[in-house]
Amino acid sequence: MGLIRSRDTKPELFVRSLVHGMGYRYRLHGENLPGRPDLVFRGRMRVIFVHGCLWHLHRNCPRCRPPKSRRSYWMPKLLRNAERDKQVRRKLRSLGWRSLVIWECELRDGIKLAKRIRQFLS
């Protein structure tokens, strides 16, 4: 588990490359914002989170299969992650920021994802 990254993951790098290629500029890991969003668009008051389906419990996703061993440890941890995500988004909304969550499984269709991002940032 020590090899699991919290920054610069492959899904995050994919989204960053896609967004940059679309002509948008952003800051990384907004350190003064709740939840430290992956991409921050200050002028637009928008943030993007790139979530792994397993680590953030993406409901009804085939990639979100909780570990079979040590379930008593993992399930509460994963549930806390999901609850923290909800609180962070609420806090950002109260500060006037809009947020978008991009799930790891959504990266398969780059065209659809680009359209969704463009719509969010417009």
pTM: 0.88
Assess if residue 19 is contained within a domain. Answer: yes
- Per-residue confidence (pLDDT) for residue 4, from 0 to 100: 61
Does 91 map to a domain? yes
Model pLDDT, residue 55: 81
- The edge-to-edge listing of strands for the beta sheet with 98-103 is 27-28, 39-41, 46-51, 98-103
Q: How far apart are CA 34 and CA 104, in angstroms?
A: 21
Based on its alpha-carbon atoms, the radius of gyration of the chain, rounded to whole angstroms, reads: 15
Per residue of the chain (122 residues), what is the pLDDT tens digit? Answer: 555 666 778 899 999 999 999 999 999 988 889 999 999 999 999 999 999 888 888 888 877 777 788 888 888 988 998 999 999 999 999 999 999 999 999 999 989 999 999 999 98
Q: How many domains does the chain divide into? A: 1
Inside any domain, residue 5 = no
